[in-house]
Structure 1
């Protein structure tokens, strides 16, 4: 089965330069940057793709199982390696921060991926997860696209927020803080937004894009 991130890499990357893609990207980037300031040392992005989010900070190394996106990320000046999230080619406690930006729905084993991130993370480091959950309008939309056989999303496993928290708990990880954006989301007319902090114990519906800081127990 072909990897859509290999087959459609040019279309995927060009979307970020489209009029709508730029606005959505900037909203997501501002949300991610809420946590990047605390990453003072080396950062690893797992599922780096073409490097659109890795360029938000210095000292970022990227890994991805798809080869074609890595070539573009490398042109953006990002050190890259081809590797699966479940088997990272790095020593224990190498990075101050590990990022997964809409990557975990596409990994083969989310538990192995998170435990590998925990292994290469320094003791006081952070895992930054940017995700789309089924508790949001956007998550429901992506789930419908999956059912319709969308070339990207048909391979994805989207989670409810509470389900993901249970996965973290089983990996001895805990959520420290959460921000969200794309609250008033529209593919047709996206608008610039500022990220808002989310009370994870009291929400009715999540924004379309959620970014969280996760720590080891």
Structure 2
């Protein structure tokens, strides 16, 4: 998207809101991202906690240019992943889904490519921060005015078409009008920054974490 032409400004937000960033980074680290394809990687915000081989995929050449030379980078559309079937052990997605037109089509493509699991982190529309960003979007914010924030239940329903949801954890329990702080991590999706791990289906049955959230 043409709006993602300022990687320095994008990274600056995380520097200014470093307590939010640290809270989100700690949550992402709980999922031990290893040998991941990061779809919509931007300037590699969370990659310092990734291990193994990381591939950054983004539609913006400006964002990819900010990523270190030692990391593999691919300029591509998230809906058309240039990989063989079952070729990527882990796929990681942070915030990217709110900038996609067809999330179901996207996850169909992710299911084709991934060999084991996908970890999706997002700000649900029906969360305190989701409501706040939505309102900023209505006022013409550079990024959020282009975002389509999805409700958590809607995302889970899409994921269940292609995967088995195994883990849901969240952080950011304080509201936007409160002082920013390093926040706790909890199982479930009560926070405003939610990470969901979903595993590729096999012939063996899996129990779903969604049953515990009903």
Please report the TM-score for the alignment, with normalisation by the length of structure 2: 0.87
Number of the residue aligned with 1:210: 194
Distance in 2 (alpha carbons) for counterparts of 1:111 and 1:91: 19
Number of the residue aligned with 2:204: none
How big is the shift at 1:117? 1.3
Structure 1 residues 208 and 44: alpha-carbon distance in aligned structure 2, compared to 1, 3 A threshold: same
Distance in 1 (alpha carbons) for counterparts of 2:177 and 2:42: 22
How big is the shift at 1:68? 0.3
How many corresponding residue pairs?
A: 200
Distance in 2 (alpha carbons) for counterparts of 1:100 and 1:92: 18
Range that drifts further, 129-138 or 54-63: 54-63
Structure 1 gaps of 5+ residues are 201-205
Number of the residue aligned with 1:117: 110
Alpha-carbon displacement from aligned partner over 1:136-161 (angstroms, at most 9, x marks no partner): 10011111112222110111111111
Range that drifts further, 108-117 or 59-68: 108-117
Q: How does 1:74-89 map to 2 (within 5 A)?
A: 74-75=68-69, 77-89=70-82
User: Structure 2 residue aligned with 1:33, among 24, 29, 34?
Assistant: 29
Structure 2 gaps of 5+ residues are 202-214
Alpha-carbon displacement from aligned partner over 1:107-156 (angstroms, at most 9, x marks no partner): 2321222112111111xx11000000022100111111122221101111
Structure 2 residue 159 is the aligned partner of structure 1 residue 168: yes
User: Structure 1 residue aligned with 2:42, among 49, 56, 59?
Assistant: 49
- SS of match in other structure, 1:69: helix
- RMSD over aligned CA atoms reads 1.7
Distance in 1 (alpha carbons) for counterparts of 2:8 and 2:124: 26
Number of the residue aligned with 2:15: 17
How big is the shift at 1:185? 3.8
The 8 Å contact of residues 128 and 176 in structure 2, kept in 1 or not, is answered as: no
Distance in 1 (alpha carbons) for counterparts of 2:130 and 2:117: 25
The 8 Å contact of residues 119 and 196 in structure 2, kept in 1 or not, is answered as: yes
Alpha-carbon displacement from aligned partner over 1:154-197 (angstroms, at most 9, x marks no partner): 11111111111121223x22321111101114366211123111
The 8 Å contact of residues 132 and 176 in structure 2, kept in 1 or not, is answered as: no
The 8 Å contact of residues 54 and 62 in structure 1, kept in 2 or not, is answered as: no
